[in-house]
A and B are shown apart, each in its own frame.
Chain A
Amino acid sequence: MPTPALEIRDLKKTYASGTVALKGVSLTVPVGDFFALLGPNGAGKTTIIGIVTSLVNKTSGTVKVFGHDIDKEFEKAKTYIGLVGQEINFNPFEKPLDIVVNQGGYYGIPRKEALPRAKQLLTDLGLGEKMREQAMALSGGMKRRLMIARALIHEPRFLILDEPTAGVDVELRRSMWDYLRGITAQGVTILLTTHYLEEAEQLAKHVAIINKGQIVGAGTMSEILAMHDEEKAKKHAYRGGKLEEVFLQLTSEPEKSSV
């Protein structure tokens, strides 16, 4: 069996406040996959991403990125990961070009190599004309795209996107989908969290649904969609897409099913 891009085993996290965020999550993301991690607010998605990217300390469990343990080989594991976080987290006084080039520097990429790469990424993401303006002048959608460019500067093999299209209009969202599809076509593994379930349905090969710190459903997209229960869906006042109804079915009945 080939080494997965991400392997999480029995991951637990209890915050200092006493909040139990993860109750023993196990997850495998195969290489080359487009994997959607779905769940309601506070389910534990961002905590998982925080632990994988070493921004949050875990309580117990193991995490391996391309076979490299994040505790024992953290430098090696980090070289594989590109992160687009949920919050806008760059210095707004800097220029987009500097933000992306500097990020390359933290991965050991010299400026002369990072500069053309950064310009290309920013141009591809529609920020070519804005690359030398202050980042604070960018619109919300542009800031999101800047974060994608920043995450890709070191050509990661594993891209983690934590709600990358939050607050982005439909047209831009779809262009971002195309861009992400292009990246996966080049062999980059993607882990995506989103509240837009149609986005996951369009893009993901595999899905895991997390609720209250536990995985309540996981499998291929078709396996997850096959869990759809028409009778239960009818009980809801509003009808949505198939994935949305499976999502509601699983998250309103935690600790029930797993494929």
Chain B
Amino acid sequence: MRPYQLWISFYTMLRKDIVRMFRIWVQTFLPSVITSVLYFTIFGTVLGSRIGEMQGVDYMTFVVPGLVMLAIVTTSYANTSFMFFASKFFARSVDEILVSPTPPWLLVGGFAAGGVVRGVLVGALVLIVSVFFTGLSLSIHNVLVIFGFAILTALVFALAGLVNGIYAKSIDGINIVPTFILTPLVYLGGIFYSVHNLPDWWQAITYANPLFYLVNGFRYGFLGITDIPLSVSLAVLLGMTALLATVNWYFIRTGLGLRQ
């Protein structure tokens, strides 16, 4: 395929996913917004007022970047894992793309892009909701870091969701990973606390959690504070992107989990 045809194929995949997510916006956008309202109410207003400050900032302000990141991570992951699994398992409509000359790397890119769009849009909605709870007091330290980390994080988890969607053999297969792996990683990734408040042994475990690096980088963009250097966070993010993109490409190219 020529570059223009590759672009058309990519655009088709992305457009189709965006049309779908807006058609069923009650399922794709609303749940994360409602969940974030609950988090802001409970952890911010109710508990946050008792906690006071974290790393020198108001607890509600501290927790906002983490909650936005939580929404991006879970949404981008769910979008690709379910989208791909549904197209493979229910109607087998993924064959529409598999029989076409669309190369495997572009198929990975097309599905991941849908996850990125939904993840970033939901993140933006949660950020808007946070304004009502923080009273416009949320600071912005570096816009570029905020956007960069939001997009890269959505990409990483969209790619992770795609691995899950490709390899899952039943509907349970796409629920197990978010429930038993993703959720613990998210909650232990420093969304609600600073790693410096933890005992040494727990700090050591937290450093092995990839979510910790993403939340810290994102929080740095808003507050200018971080538990670890920004370059380390970025390196972890880029490394995960490269690894997951390669795994997905390999799965599609060889048909692992897809072709008999």
A residues lining the B interface (CB < 8 Å)? 15-16, 50, 53-57, 74-76, 78-79, 81, 83, 85, 87-92, 98-99, 102-103, 105-110, 150
* Contact, CB under 8 Å: A54 / B260: no
* Contact, CB under 8 Å: A102 / B16: yes
Whether A89 touches B93, Cβ cut-off 8 Å, given contacts A75-B101, A103-B100, is: yes
* Contact, CB under 8 Å: A105 / B11: yes
Which B residues are CB-close (under 8 A) to A150? 96
A89 to B90, CA, bound (A): 9
Task: Give 17 pairs: A residue, B residue, CB < 8 Å, sorted on A.
Answer: A16-B260, A50-B260, A55-B95, A76-B101, A85-B95, A88-B91, A89-B92, A89-B95, A89-B96, A91-B91, A91-B93, A92-B91, A99-B96, A105-B15, A106-B9, A106-B13, A108-B5
* Contact, CB under 8 Å: A75 / B259: no
Question: How far in angstroms is the closest Cβ of chain A from B203?
Answer: 45
Question: How far in angstroms is the closest Cβ of chain B from A223?
Answer: 32
A90 to B16, CA, bound (A): 13
* Contact, CB under 8 Å: B99 / A78: yes
Known: A78-B100, A87-B92, A105-B9. 10 other contacts (CB 8 A): A55-B99, A56-B259, A74-B101, A79-B101, A102-B12, A103-B100, A105-B13, A106-B13, A107-B5, A107-B9
Interface string of B96-107 (1 = CB under 8 A from A): 111111110000
Which B residues are CB-close (under 8 A) to A76? 101
A54 to B6, CA, bound (A): 19
Q: Which single residue of chain A is at the shortest CB-CB distance from B87? A: A91
A75 to B93, CA, bound (A): 19
Which of B16, B96, B100, B259 neighbours the largest number of chain A CB atoms within 10 Å of its CB? Answer: B100
Whether A110 touches B95, Cβ cut-off 8 Å, given contacts A55-B259, A75-B1, A76-B101, is: no
Chain B interface residue count, Cβ-Cβ cutoff 8 angstroms: 30
Which B residues are CB-close (under 8 A) to A91? 87, 91, 93
Which A residues are CB-close (under 8 A) to B101? 74-76, 78-79, 106-108
B residues lining the A interface (CB < 8 Å)? 1-2, 4-6, 8-9, 11-13, 15-16, 19, 87, 91-93, 95-103, 254-255, 259-260
A83 to B92, CA, bound (A): 14
* Contact, CB under 8 Å: A54 / B93: no
* Contact, CB under 8 Å: B255 / A106: no
* Contact, CB under 8 Å: B8 / A57: no
Question: How far in angstroms is the closest Cβ of chain B from A159?
Answer: 12
Q: Which single residue of chain B is at the shortest CB-CB distance from A104? A: B12
* Contact, CB under 8 Å: B96 / A103: yes
Which A residues are CB-close (under 8 A) to B260? 15-16, 50, 56-57
Question: How far in angstroms is the closest Cβ of chain A from B249?
Answer: 14
